[in-house]
Copies of this chain bind each other. A is one copy, B any other.
Amino acid sequence: MKANLEDIARAAGVSKMTVSRVLRGGSGFSDDTRTRVMQVAERLGYIPNRLAAAFGAEQASTLVGMCVPRLTSGLFGHVLDGVDRALTRLGFQLMIGANNHATDEEEAWVRQLVSWRPAGVILSGRTHSPGTVDLLRKTALPVVEIWDLTTSPIDMAVGFSHHDCGAEMGLHLIRRGRRRAGFVGALARADVMGAARLDGFRAALAQAGHPLADAEVLNDAPGFYAGYYGMETLLSRRGDLDAVYFHNDEMAIGGLAFCQARGLRVPEDIGIAGWGGMEAASILPRRLTTTLVPTTAIGKAAAEALVARLTGAAVPEVTVVPTRLVPGETV
């Protein structure tokens, strides 16, 4: 039932090697042989064995691994989609994992992945355990780090600066006349990139002479609830805030919901800003002030950089994919 190259070879009256060449679309055989082999392969229902192929000739692997922080993140869903579409088109298979914002979980996943001898790896973020970096360097695997720009990537990087995103929003709030801005974050200590946005935000505000009034960084997942309760906590401490910058759009919408529940007018009484871009954010009664992140484009660029490297093409070490601040109507 399970035919292999040998079976086809016997039935077609050629050698195993010729069958291999024909099926991989190589050269070194006549048209006659080609059609004969193809027909026999079809008739026997041959299913290629990539395991054997990748094992016998390691450079032939078409397996790519990708690790995201959380599979439930809407933004990373789009990144995954971009990666998947590009890889599928190029004939690669995608193995995924989640690191839950923990470098040791990432390392465990990378170890598993490497044991499959993949063609390359896509990681999210700039923070990795020494073991991960060491392993990837030793195996000399092509690596693309996405999402945040690493000053010195392990191999290649595709993304943007979270620090700059925060700074840009800080400046925007100042320009809109806000003077007492706060911040609501999530995943305290776990999410380095949210922290980078806060850093940039804080720096921009300080430089403008109106330093960050207060910040509440929760330990929870960055969802609507966290935004709602983060807003509540922040306002209970500082009732005089005139703007709040959130970890992401989900949380900002949660914050908006809280304002609505308390009868606070947005943007008159208080300004609300999110980050990341989310379809819902643009259809709210007032369009959310936020920063759009080209998620799918990042995924696509990462996959293409990886494959380009595999084909020996020159690939830039760092690819910057610009984000865009959308003023909206909530600040």
Chain A positions within 8 Å of B, measured between CB atoms, are 1-2, 45, 47-52, 54-55, 63, 70-74, 77-78, 80-81, 84-85, 88, 93-98, 109, 111-117, 135, 138-139, 223-225, 228, 250, 253-254, 257, 260-261, 279-280, 282-285
Contacts and interface: CB of A to CB of B under 8 A. Distances in A.
A115 B228 CA distance: 48
A258 to B, nearest CB: 9
B72 A77 contact: yes
A78 B72 contact: yes
Contacts of A54: 51
A6 B138 CA distance: 20
Contacts of A50: 115-117
A289 B77 CA distance: 26
A91 to B, nearest CB: 8
Given A50-B117, A224-B283, 4 more contacts: A47-B135, A51-B116, A224-B279, A257-B283
A160 to B, nearest CB: 20
A2 B117 CA distance: 12
Given A72-B78, A84-B96, A224 B280 contact: yes
Closest 9 CB pairs of A and B: A71-B81, A50-B115, A48-B115, A224-B283, A51-B55, A71-B80, A55-B55, A72-B77, A224-B279
